[in-house]
Amino acid sequence: MSEVIDRPLREDDKPAATRLRIVDCDVHPSLRSTDDLSEFLPKRWQQHLKEYGSHLRTPYLFTTPYPRSSPLIARRDAWPPTGGPPGSDLAFMQKQHLDPLDVEFGILQVLDLFIFSQQNLEFGAAIQRAINDWQLAFWSHRDPRLKASILVGQDGVDLAIAEIERCAKIGEYVQINVSPRANEPLGRRRYWPIYERAQELGLPLGIHVGGYGGHAPTGGGWPSYYVEEHQSNAHTIAAQLASLVIEGVPERFPKLKFVFIEGGFGWIPSAVWRMDQHFERFRSEVPHLKRKPSEYVREHFWFTTQPIDEPDEARHLRSLIEWVGIDRLLFSSDYPHWDFDDPRFAFKTPLTDAERKKIFSTNARAVYKF
């Protein structure tokens, strides 16, 4: 007979004061409505938002990005009792997520208003500015566990730099977020001024999957189904990893750190093996690379864990974790989205206490310096 998984709650499944406090690198706050931004968005852009809304590059007419799998891609139990969309009520987020899971720090990742996909760069920059201020006023200042990111649209490089300077002066942000679906691959030279500034400021670059670019998310074109598209998150950021490494970004900016968020990590070994193998053969094409791609990956890139891969055999997950590196992984829950990972059950393979500590806390604390 095969084993039936109908696990009752064990004593150590319950969060307790003695258990590891975690750093959650992917928490999604939401606007209750765009009115939340009224104090941060100049009148001219409020008007624009009302009259024109988003101008995106999605190819299909009437393809709204939501619902995907469930309304607002959210857990069904994450709708605040007070109304508003999931992730929009701090008290409820505290009660449902931060307190019971013993989250010591949560890093905010805002996706509202298709923030990285706006084609009107001025409008995009105005929204990014407003959202950056809103993250502090509505979240970090009300709950110091929550850490904000500087969101910028890298296609308007000068606008992005101006926003980075403005936020860096405030000094409360823990990373700079750029889009994984910009006009060009992330390694291209046009984006380097952002990387240069990030290195000088000592801020990691966060790249959260998703968004709507004008390019198909797979090399084969546009997927028909959401399940197919969800799969493509991994291809998209694998391509971005290759672009950054092979264009020489880590070679050029030796102190820069990248955090790939919500891309999972199962795809990494094969992507890196292949890069190394090709590098051996085609070295002369990329003489600006002084070391093997895998070495750059191991020093400059971190990966958040969700959505975690669930192979049939736990030991396969174990080898993946070992190969990618216990030091490279940062726990993330993706709260309140439907593919949320519960830190108590997501890793269906044994981890030692020391390993847990790294993945759930100290790796992130070292990358983000808190």
Partner 1 sequence: MARHIVASTSEIPRGGNKVVDVAGRDIVVFHVNGEFFALLNRCPHEGAPLEKAACVARLTSPEPGIYQRSRVGEMLRCPWHGWEFDMRNGQSWFDPKRVKIRSYPVAVERGEELQKGPYVAETFPVHVEDSYVIVEV
Minimum CB separation from partner 1 for residue 78, in Å? Answer: 8
Minimum CB separation from partner 1 for residue 148, in Å? Answer: 26
Residue 157 has phi, psi (to 5 degrees) of: -60, -40
Select 75 or 356, whichever has its Cβ closest to partner 1. Answer: 75
Residue 173, beta-bridge partner list: 148
Minimum CB separation from partner 1 for residue 172, in Å? Answer: 32
CA distances from 96 to 103, 125, 144 (A): 11, 33, 17
Please, are residues 173 and 149 in contact by the beta-carbon 8 Å criterion?
Answer: yes
The residue written with tokens 């709708």 in the block is 79
Select 60 or 225, whichever has its Cβ closest to partner 1. Answer: 225
Q: Following DSSP, what letter does each residue of 197-226 receive, concatenated? A: HHHHHTPPEEEES----SS-SBTTB--SSH
Residue numbers at the binding site for partner 1 (CB under 8 A): 2-9, 13, 69-70, 75-77, 338-342, 344-346
Minimum CB separation from partner 1 for residue 340, in Å? Answer: 6
Select 101 or 127, whichever has its Cβ closest to partner 1. Answer: 101
Residue 314 has phi, psi (to 5 degrees) of: -55, -30
Checking phi first, is residue 248 left (phi over 0); if not, alpha (psi -120 to 50) or beta?
Answer: left
Minimum CB separation from partner 1 for residue 75, in Å? Answer: 5
Of 354, 352, 360, 310, nearest to 330 by C-alpha is 360
Select 116 or 335, whichever has its Cβ closest to partner 1. Answer: 335
Select 303 or 340, whichever has its Cβ closest to partner 1. Answer: 340
Could you tell me the sign of the dihedral formed by the alpha carbons of 110, 113, 117, 123, in that order?
Answer: negative
Minimum CB separation from partner 1 for residue 316, in Å? Answer: 16
Select 163 or 341, whichever has its Cβ closest to partner 1. Answer: 341
Select 213 or 266, whichever has its Cβ closest to partner 1. Answer: 266
Q: Supply the Cα-derived Rg of the chain in whole angstroms.
A: 20
Minimum CB separation from partner 1 for residue 54, in Å? Answer: 28
Name residue 343's amino acid.
Answer: P
Cα distance between the two ends of the chain: 49
